[in-house]
Amino acid sequence: QVQLVESGGGLVQSGGSLRVSCVASGIIFRLHAMGWYRQAPGKQRELVAVITSGGSTNYADSVKGRFTISRDNAKNTVYLQMNSLKPEDTAVYYCNTRRGLADYWGQGTQVTVSS
């Protein structure tokens, strides 16, 4: 059974930094691309960043240069380092992976950026 468990969210002031983590189980982690998505109130869930099994990364334009996605295959963990946070980054952040045709999601972690 695939499980994704996020942690590390919280309240931070504008301009601050935060790192969220996601521990995966039930998959051969090193073989899977991992993604971070976010959903703000009243908005659709959007892709923030993705990292492939080989370590290639891709980012939404809105976070390029501020956020960094990374992975530690020994710990089955994917990270999202968020710097220079803005109030518009406020959202629930979700970890995602796919196995076959199925998408898997964590429970989400709240990130709130105060102005």
Q: Is 115 exposed, middle or buried (0-12, 13-18, 19+ CB in 10 A)?
A: exposed
Confidence at 22, pLDDT banded by 50, 70, 90? very high
Question: What pLDDT is stored for residue 59 in this prediction?
Answer: 98
Cα-based angle 15, 59, 71 (whole degrees, multiple of 5): 90
pLDDT of residue 94: 98
Q: In what order do the strands lie in the sheet with 77-82?
A: 3-7, 18-25, 77-82, 67-72
Q: With cut-offs at 50, 70 and 90, classify the pLDDT of residue 74.
A: very high
Interatomic CA distance for residues 107 and 114, integer angstroms = 23
Number of neighbours of residue 63 by Cβ within 10 angstroms: 22
Task: Kindly report the average pLDDT of the chain as a whole number.
Answer: 97
